[in-house]
Structure 1
Amino acid sequence: MYPVLSICSWKALRATENVTATNTTMVRNVVKTDNDPPFNGSEFREFANHLGFKHRKITPLWPQANGEAERFMKTIGKAIRAAHSEHRSCKQELYNFLGNYRATPHSTTNATPTELLLGRKLKTRVPEITPPAVNKTVIQDNDWKRKEQMKQYADGKRKATQHKIKIGDQVLVKQQKTDKLSTPYNPQPYTVIKQHASMVTAKTEDKE
């Protein structure tokens, strides 16, 4: 997990680069964020070009598009609230939570996040029998099957249907309400320029 900068400048992004290099020594190929500030600015675009990763922007104001991160933040919030109610250090409990999470096998993959990322297990104080080596092919198959089951369940519950939006269509984009006179959708139409599976990219003259 990395900090989100409320005011994103090139100097702040270079500082984030230093933190990333010191603690992880790796850069992801694709970084997925929402399409709100500070991730929709020119500074973050320059930062992505500088480090060489692809910035993938999800649909604004639609948390389901970034469900994995949203669900994880809900779990973190629960741990922090529990620490606060018991008058413990929220920062230290957050470290403890992340350490336990990274050392706990996932219900779908049966492997810990550390094993999948770094290829080794974290040493903990819990005694255990040495498990067999992780088979990444089996893990990927199980992960795909579980995600497909969750997708079918969510689509059925929401009665989702295939959209008919095509490149060149004009669409209205949902916006946040700032007062009682705000409309649910931005009255300025966007033009669809790209489509990939369920993701649709649209832009106006000054914004994408």
Structure 2
Amino acid sequence: MIEQSIDMQSKTILKGLTEFLEAMEGDLEKKVFELETNRRCFEIMNRLVRIRESLAQYNEKNRLLFYVGLIGHFSSGKSSTINSLLDLWDKKEKRRVGLNPTDKNITLIATPSNIDSITPLTSEGRMSVRSYPLKHEFLEDVVLVDTPGSGDPKVFEEIVQDFLPICDVIFYLFSAANPLDRADLPVLNLLAEKLPFVPVRLVVTRTDEFA
């Protein structure tokens, strides 16, 4: 009942926000509100656009699927964790490890039968969201959200604010070879501040290297 109420509220907010942003596209409105000359107004409009995109993603989300977000810095072990979880190490579908930290793609890993359900969430833009079909029993009701391992705080902020709100749980990964440090704190604080409604779990990877 509560979830239905939240869904209705989000759709109402999305509708109103969309109408407002469309109204602001007129030449007169842009001039009156200085949307093209005032930096502060420009930033606010950009933020509203991002909120609209996040709400649209939330409303497109298939409620029958459980979304698991994986986030962490470069070499935190996200790809290795996915390979182990889905038994991919000896298969052609295995996730490549050690990808360039400038990669900014978010990948939704789901079974082929669920790809159609998550297609509305995919997009191309400043941060591409792409689907990756993979047959595995673990993915029957689960979608893995693999995020880029960037060291850029702005990239993490985009990920947290623009996409991770659809997740049902978020796993923050860090390597046993490089424990939590000051670089992790801003991201963890951002998760706590922006997504207090999404459970966050810490996962230590590469522990086998110290066995």
TM-score bucket (shorter structure): under 0.3
Please report the TM-score for the alignment, with normalisation by the length of structure 2: 0.22
- Select the structure of larger CA radius of gyration: 1
**Structure 1 or 2: more strand by fraction:** 2
Whose relative contact order is higher, 1 or 2, with alpha carbons under 8 Å and at least 6 apart?
A: 2
Please report the TM-score for the alignment, with normalisation by the length of structure 1: 0.22
